[in-house]
Amino acid sequence: MKLVTIIGARPQFIKAAALSRAIKTHNRDSSLQKVEEIIIHSGQHHDPNMSDIFFSSLEIPLPDYTLGIHNLSHGAMTGQMLEKIEQILLHEAPDVVLVYGDTNTTLAGALAAAKLHIPVAHVEAGLRSFNRAMPEEINRILTDHIAQWLFCPTQVAVKNLQAEGVDQRAGVEIIHNGDVMLDTMRYFINKASRITLDRRKGSVDGYIVCTLHRAELTDDLERLRDVFTSIVSIAKEHPVFFPLHPRTRKALDKAGCTFDHPGLEIMEPVGYLEMIDLLHHAGLVITDSGGLQKEAFFSGTPCLTIREETEWTELVEAGFNRLAGYAPESIVAGAKAMATVTVDNSSFIYGDGTASQSIIATLLRRIH
């Protein structure tokens, strides 16, 4: 089976790491049919600190194709990706195209494959925020309605697809297989190194990890300024480690925000191992990231989400995650409330850590 994997952003690198590792394990068994993986990196995350370090730390094979498409509008980015991915698929003629999540890379890969009548497998299918103002929501809906195999991390995701009638399309299969990000976390957790005491300024466990990067925040400077002011206020009580996304840094500079505040440690973007180390020893995560909400749960750390909705509703319902919105008073109050929450991550909300093996086995059965 020839499989083309299309990735371009941090969460996709983490998911792809699990699948690539499952393929390697599968191929070691000489009695099994071999799987050939071709990796296309769109370049959507082009900063070395946002991309290269993830390939090396996650042990992902280097991409066979790197497109270098970034810093464009949604339409221009998706269009250029579609054109270049189509050329590669015509050349490689794979049995299946594997796309992940909800980025422009996801949609472009799915469209290119579907127009060439190549089956599409969507990993992390069925997620919905029910906010179509989010570009990610449009990407995931369209991809789900293109894909032939929809691999869902939760039962909620399965129900979302069924509610939209996706399961009524001929040849479509919805599979609840668990979350591949859990596979990656379990594999790497013992390889993560503690952040040095110098880096952490001698702070004890229980600090806060903060990340902010979504366009609905960084494109609204007044909103961003309010949220950052809240983080500064929280840092007066608890140390805050803030790995700063390049887009967020530029927006904060433009908003006139300064970074020298008591308790606030501004950091360059960190690799996966360093991030999961930070999460495992944190008392709270504050983020607008979808993936980090789950990684916090996997780490047994409560999460405060700087958004008005989330795809991971089961974590909110369980009390392990809380939506704060963007109002400063709500963020400060939410941080105080969530810092006392104890997270029980022993349940199988996201499967048992074998989702990637299940995906490869399913595709092999269906394709040949």
Task: List 209's β-bridge partners, or say none.
Answer: 241, 285
Q: Are strands 36-41 and 173-176 parallel, antiparallel or unpaired?
A: unpaired
In the residue annotation, 213 being an active-site residue is answered as yes
Q: Which residues contact 131 (CB under 8 A, 6 or more apart)?
A: 137, 308, 309
Per-position DSSP letters for 271-312, written without gaps between them: -HHHHHHHHHTEEEEEES-HHHHHHHHHTT--EEESSS--S-
- Among residues 210, 279, 267, 250, which one has the least CA distance to residue 49? 267
Read off φ and ψ for residue 38, nearest 5 degrees.
-110, 125
- Among residues 79, 115, 120, which one has the least CA distance to residue 97? 120
Asked if 302 contacts 341 with a C-beta cutoff of 8 angstroms, the reply is yes
E-assigned strands of 167-308?
173-176, 207-211, 240-243, 264-267, 282-287, 303-305
Q: Of 176, 213, 280, 281, which one is the catalytic site residue?
A: 213
Gap between the Cα atoms of 57 and 90, Å rounded: 31
- Torsional class of 215: left (φ above 0), alpha (ψ -120 to 50), beta (otherwise): alpha
Read off φ and ψ for residue 236, nearest 5 degrees.
-70, -25
Burial call 111-131: b when 16+ CB within 10 Å, e when fewer: bbbbeeebbbbbbbbbbbbee
Structure tokens that stand for 316 in this block: 């909110």
Gap between the Cα atoms of 349 and 155, Å rounded: 8
CA 278 to chain centre: 17
- Torsional class of 242: left (φ above 0), alpha (ψ -120 to 50), beta (otherwise): beta
Residues annotated as catalytic are 213
